Amino acid sequence: MRNRDSDKISLMFGGVSSEHNASLSSFANVYSALRDQASDKARYANVYFIDRRGGVNQNKLDFSREPHYYITTCERRHTLAEAIKVIRENDEFIFSLLHGQLGEDGHFQGISKAIGIRGTFGSVLSCSLSMSKYHMAQYVTATHPQIEPIPTVIIDERDLGVLVEKLRPFFNTEVVIKPNSLGASLFTARFLVDAFNLNDLREHLVNVLRYDNMALVQRYIDGKEYSCGCIEMKNTVVVLPLVHIQTEGNFFGHAEKHQKGKADEILVPDSQLDPPMACIKEVSQEIFEKLMFENMCRFDFIISNRKVYFLEANPIPGLMKNSIFPKMLKARDIGVHELPAIFLENSMGRKSKETLVEYDIAEE
């Protein structure tokens, strides 16, 4: 049995995904919180910053430094493969703040499981499924009949030549166009589908498909958006307070998510939950448990005419200063500075399954 208190924790951030900047902001907030509030600073070992080209800066964690130091300074420079080897040899526990592609989409999760890197990367199944908004929504609606499906059409590059036919079900209605696998609500926009907007629609879809293999065209649901977070603590799933997201145009896109004053995020006390809100919390916990999420996740929904619609899951939610997930944690008296130690304790309680089964294969 490992001694949890003797483990060294290291932080990893940056990455090659479209959410690189979000990762930098999450790191700055977590690092600052650790520096100001953590009581066990001596157990933090290294910081690994992955730049946009996949190179890695390794620095010893020194809380006298500002967050930007770890981006501009490099005590040891590695390729990603070399950094993974160092981490494995040091047996460090990695607190991952890698958002998006090649961070929370199953790739790092697979590497960590296959070669035995300990950390908060999460499970391959939950992360890879969550990264495809379309397939995650298909799973949720198929397994939870209380969740209404959102009418959706998938567009790839081959469909651009027959766009009118693909969009025919949505003519004269409003839609939301979004990438299937990018985060941060990048390229998420709302359109009226009619003959006058087809060129704008096509241009936007072309832009989305520069970065993603699939674009989603979904009927716009006029309702109230809610976010529900779950955190694993001592291998028990704790459902955090619901957050109601209010915007002036009733649409939570990239600008609304990342610019001050564009959205109000209102905590909903459990005493004020109506049946649709309670449904969101129940479904979120079930998804977390059934898909074997690890450590944390944030699930997004819309309620319209008392019907509940699922939007997406975020296995490594943003931990920026003004992000939704830290507000949920604060409502449960949990600080972001506590997360690395909580998640290390989770990892200590997980039991590995045996993989070696001896059996005979008949040879001719």
Count of domains observed in the chain: 3
Boundaries of domain holding 213: 152-219
Query: Are both 263 and 136 inside the same structural domain?
Result: yes
Query: Are both 214 and 260 inside the same structural domain?
Result: no
Give CA–CA dist 125/148, Å, rounded: 23
Query: Are both 59 and 110 inside the same structural domain?
Result: yes
pLDDT at 251 over 70: no
User: What is the three-class DSSP state of 139?
Assistant: helix
Q: What is the pLDDT of residues 284-327, one digit of tens each?
A: 999 999 999 999 999 999 999 999 999 999 999 999 988 999 99
Q: What is the pLDDT of residues 77-136, one digit of tens each?
A: 999 999 999 999 999 999 999 998 888 888 889 999 889 899 999 999 999 999 999 999
Average pLDDT, the chain: 91
Query: Are both 176 and 273 inside the same structural domain?
Result: no
Q: Domain with 309 in it: what CATH number?
A: 3.30.470.20
Residue 363 placed within a domain: no
Token pair of 97 as six digits: 């703040």
Tracing tokens 């996949």 back to the chain, one arrives at 54
Q: What is the pLDDT of residues 322-342, one digit of tens each?
A: 899 999 999 999 999 999 999
Q: What's the predicted TM-score (pTM) here?
A: 0.91
Contacts of residue 92, Cβ cutoff 8 Å, sequence gap at least 6: 8, 9, 10, 45, 46, 118
